[in-house]
């Protein structure tokens, strides 16, 4: 049983923080940030703006795009690690915000920067099992909640935002979420994690080494699993962690940078929102066309990694 993408939407907070803004508050420079990461600016939520607020706006925009209401959705899966409340799930809170009158199952997945691939994997499984008809995937993060403003090596890397995609059951197995793979390795969790006082702890160089190995591995695995080669792929949307990581993946996969979507310069690393937000950006700016085949490799804290193949 297949599925197809019928709607998308996103939300970025109004406030934009540039590299020059960081220069004013810590010992860093636009030159260092751009040359090491490719980042130029990132959106940051207001203090009173929550993960649920952002997720609900992205979800409503996806519903509007699909000409549906929340009651038309059968399942909501939200990728996030930065929700303000430990419980209930962001998914349940969104239902309240969007005024659902039906009892719609909703839950969160905590795959960090691979979270949206975990969500897509769950959605594929539900479609394959024939359990749900219309599934909304949301990636929403307020990573600025975790910024340690005294640590210049992590403070500049993250941004806030949310994206949503709606998939509907279809008889075609060549559209929508075609294939997914997810992996994790808990032995390496110390490389990148949140602390009990809500700060990002990261060994940057080690994380970098793992990212440039595991994202191409996941991409190669899913292409071979789906029986395709890079020539069949129209676009790669890698997790937007760092431009150098993205360039290295392109090189390892022998894939031209012109067909790799890059939003890290504008959004920085939005963790579980990254790939969903990037797809909305690509549609809104007429970069990716309907019918094209997208390969989504991702990597994150956990360690987690994986990939998805989606025909949009
Ligand atoms: N401005 C200026 N200098 C800085 C800054 C900064 N913002 N941050 C660090 N430096 C300095 C360091 O202090 C160090 O100085 P020193 O040599 O005098 O000690 C120097 O720059 C080099 O530091 P490194 O950490 O070796 O820098 P590197 O070239 O590795 O780049 C970076 C750091 C960008 C963090 C890189 O390691 C990286 O991208 N790693 C992967 C990070 C990542 O992808 N994380 C997200 C994973 S996904 C998830 O789940 C959240």
In the 3-class helix/strand/coil scheme, how is 253-312 assigned residue by residue? HCCCHHHECCCHHHHCECHHHHHHHHHHHHHHCCCCCCCCEEEEEEEECCCEEEEEEEEC
Q: Where are the alpha helices (DSSP H) in the chain?
A: 19-25, 30-37, 51-66, 90-97, 115-129, 152-155, 204-226, 243-253, 264-267, 274-284
- Residues 269-305: tens digit of each pLDDT: 999 999 999 999 999 999 999 999 999 999 999 999 9
Q: What is d(CA 33, CA 22) in angstroms, rounded to the nearest whole number?
A: 10
Query: Do both 70 and 132 map to the same domain?
Result: yes
Active site residue 239: yes
Q: What is the pLDDT of residues 183-202, one digit of tens each?
A: 999 998 999 999 999 999 99
Q: Are residues 128 and 196 in the same domain?
A: no
Residues 89 and 109 in one domain: yes
Examine the fold and report which residue of 145, 170, 195 is the final residue of a domain before the chain moves on. 170
Is the Cβ atom of 246 under 6 angstroms away from ligand 1?
no
Predicted confidence (pLDDT) at residue 14 exceeds the cutoff of 90? yes
Token representation of residue 296? 């989504």
pLDDT tens for residues 222-259?
Answer: 999 999 999 999 999 999 999 999 999 999 999 999 99
d(CA 95, CA 99): 6
Ligand 1 pocket residue status of 184, Cβ below 6 Å: no
- Cα–Cα distance, 243 to 247 (Å, whole number): 6
57 lines ligand 1 (CB under 6 A): no
Active site residue 269: yes
The predicted structure's pLDDT at residue 277: 97
Ligand 1 proximity of 271 Cβ (cutoff 6 Å): yes
For residue 172, is pLDDT > 90?
A: no
The model's confidence at residue 168, banded by pLDDT at 50, 70 and 90, is: very high
Q: Same domain for 133 and 222?
A: no
In whole angstroms, give the CA distance from residue 185 to residue 210.
11
**Three-class secondary structure of residue 85 per DSSP:** coil
- Domain with 76, as residue range(s), is 2-170
The count of structural domains within the chain is 2
Q: How far apart are CA 283 and CA 176, in angstroms?
A: 15
| pLDDT of res. 186 | 95
* pLDDT grade for 138, boundaries at 50, 70 and 90: very high
Q: Closest by alpha carbon to 110, among 309, 287, 304, 312? A: 304
Query: Which of 147, 170, 193 finishes a domain?
Result: 170
Residues 153 and 7 in one domain: yes
CATH of the domain at 71: 3.40.47.10
> Token digits for 104?
């719609």
> 254 and 183 in one domain?
yes
- pTM tops 0.85, yes or no: yes
pLDDT mean over 102-108 = 97
The number of the ligand 1 atom at minimal distance from the alpha carbon of 112 is 50
For residue 163, name the pLDDT band (cuts at 50, 70, 90): very high
Q: Give me the pLDDT at residue 173, please.
A: 74
Tell how far the Cα of 243 is from the centroid of ligand 1, in angstroms: 13
Q: Which of 92, 113, 122, 249 is catalytic?
A: 113
| Confidence band, pLDDT 50/70/90 cuts, at residue 96 | very high
- Which residues partner with 176 through β-bridges? 311
Statement: residue 29 has pLDDT above 80: yes
Residues 16 and 134 in one domain: yes
Q: pLDDT above 90 covers what percent of the chain? A: 98
Q: Is there a contact between 188 and 210 (Cβ–Cβ < 8 Å)?
A: yes
Alpha-carbon dihedral sign for residues 227, 278, 30, 149: negative
pLDDT at 39: 98
Residue 1 confidence (pLDDT) above 80: no
Pair (86, 209) in one structural domain: no
CA-CA-CA-CA dihedral for 162, 282, 303, 92, to nearest 10: 30
Pair 118, 232 in one domain: no
Rg of the chain, C-alpha, whole Å: 18
End of a domain among 120, 146, 170? 170
Structure tokens at 39: 């980042």
Closest residue by Cα to atom 23, ligand 1, is 153
């Amino acid at each position: 049983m297949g599925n197809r993408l019928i709607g998308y939407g996103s939300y970025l907070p109004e406030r934009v923080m540039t590299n020059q803004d960081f220069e004013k508050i810590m010992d860093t420079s636009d030159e260092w940030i751009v040359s090491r990461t490719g980042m130029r600016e990132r959106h940051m939520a207001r203090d009173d703006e929550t993960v649920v607020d952002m997720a609900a706006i992205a979800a409503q925009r996806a519903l509007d795009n699909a000409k549906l209401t929340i009651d038309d959705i059968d399942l909501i899966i939200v990728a996030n690690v930065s929700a303000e409340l430990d419980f209930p799930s962001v998914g349940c809170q969104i239902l309240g915000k969007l005024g659902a009158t039906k009892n719609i199952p909703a839950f969160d997945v905590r795959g960090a920067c691979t979270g949206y691939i975990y969500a897509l994997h769950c959605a594929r499984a539900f479609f394959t099992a024939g359990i749900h008809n219309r599934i909304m995937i949301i990636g929403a993060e307020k990573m600025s909640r975790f910024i340690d403003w005294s640590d210049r090596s992590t403070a500049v890397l993250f941004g806030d935002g949310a994206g949503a995609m709606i998939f509907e059951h279809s008889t075609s197995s060549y559209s929508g979420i075609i294939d997914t793979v997810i992996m994790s390795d808990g032995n390496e969790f110390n490389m990148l994690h949140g602390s009990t006082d809500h700060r990002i702890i990261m060994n940057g160089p080690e994380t970098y080494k793992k990212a440039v190995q595991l994202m191409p591995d996941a991409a190669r695995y899913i292409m071979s699993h789906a029986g395709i080669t890079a020539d069949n792929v129209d676009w790669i949307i890698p997790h937007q962690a760092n431009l150098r990581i993205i360039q290295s993946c392109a090189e390892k996969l022998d894939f031209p940078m012109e067909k790799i979507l890059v939003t890290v310069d504008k959004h920085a690393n939005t963790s579980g929102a990254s790939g969903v937000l990037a797809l909305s950006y690509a549609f809104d700016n007429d970069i990716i066309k309907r019918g094209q085949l997208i390969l989504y490799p991702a990597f994150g804290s956990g360690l987690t990694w994986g990939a998805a193949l989606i025909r949009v």
